[in-house]
Amino acid sequence: MTTGNALRDFLSSRRAALSPEQVGLPSPSTTRRVRGLRREEVAILAGVSVHYYVKLEQGRAGNVSDQVLDAVARALRLDEIESRYLRSLLHADTDRSRTPAVVRPRPALQAMIRAMDVPAVIHGPHLEVLDINHAGRALLDDFDAMPVQERNTARWMFLNPRARVVYRDWAEIAADVVAVLRNSAAPGVDEALSRIVGHLSTHSEEFAAMWADHRVSEHQHGVKRFFHEAVGDMRLNWQTLQIPDGQGQSVIIYSADTGSPSEEKLRLLASWTADSAVAHQ
C-alpha cells in the first residue's frame, strides 16, 4: 500500500460517496458508468483545473497549498478528521519505511488502570491491547491469556467470536474500529499497520469490505451496548484519553450512568472479577 495509491483510493472513495445533487450540481441526464462525482466535477467545485486535480489525486501535484487542500476538502464534504487524514497522506514520506519501536505502557499507567473498578484498556497506536484491568477482562475478553500477536482489538473484533456476543451492535462497532485503524496510519509505509491489515484482509471478508470503504475516524467518546452472560445487557459510556508522549497510546475507560441498572450490573461484574483476580494472585 504505497502513499500514492492510498491518496488516490481515499479521494476516489470520497468522490464515490457523493452525488451531483448532494453538492448542488445538475442531475446527470444519462446513466453513469461509475457512481459518485467525476474528477472534473470535483475540480469545478474546488476551483482548480481538471488537469491539476487529476495530478493531485494521483499524488503528482507536488507542494499543495493550504488553500487548495481546504477547497478540495469542502468540495468532497470532508469532516475535520478526514481533512487531517488527507493532509497526512499528502505530507507522507514515501521513500522511507517505518518500523516503529515496540510500544510499552508506563508502569504507572498500568497501575492506574488496575486500581480502577470500571473497565479500562490501554491501546497501542494500531489498537494493540497493551494492558487491560480485571473489569475490562470481564466485560470484553481475557486478552492476557491470548498469544501476544492476537492482543489487538481489530483482530479480536473480526476473528474472535466473542466480540459478536459482547457487542450488541457489532456491525456498527466493527466499522468504527476499521475507521480508527485506518486513521492510525503513520506517514510513509507503515509496516506494523500493513501486517495487521494484510492478516485481517485475508482472514475476514467483512474486514476487507469495510477497509475498502476508506472511512476514517477517531476513537473519542460515546455510548455502546454490551452483553455479559452473568448480568445481561448493559449500556455503557466510553471515553478515550490520549497519552502525551505515549507513542500513540491511549486509554479507554467504560462507565455507566449514575443510578442506572447498567451501573449496578457493572458494579456486580467488577466485584466478582476483582475477587477472582485476588484469588489468583
SS3 string, the chain, reads CCHHHHHHHHHHHHHHCCCHHHHCCCCCCCCCCCCCCCHHHHHHHHCCCHHHHHHHHCCCCCCCCHHHHHHHHHHCCCCHHHHHHHHHHHCCCCCCEECCCCCCCCHHHHHHHHCCCCCEEEECCCCEEEEECHHHHHHCCCHHHCCHHHCEHHHHHHHCCHHHHHECCHHHHHHHHHHHHHHCCCCCEEHHHHHHHHHHHHHCHHHHHHHCCCCCCCCCEEEEEEEECCCEEEEEEEEEEECCCCCCCEEEEEECCCCCHHHHHHHHHHHHHHHHHHHCC
What's the pLDDT at 186? Answer: 57
Q: Which residues of the chain have pLDDT under 50?
A: 1-2, 94-97, 278-281
What pTM did the predictor assign?
0.84
At 167 the pLDDT is: 97
Q: Which domains does the chain possess?
A: 3-92 (1.10.260.40), 107-279 (3.30.450.180)
Scanning the structure block, which residue is given the C-alpha cell 457489532?
170
pLDDT for 95: 45
pLDDT of residue 106: 92
pLDDT in the model for residue 184: 84
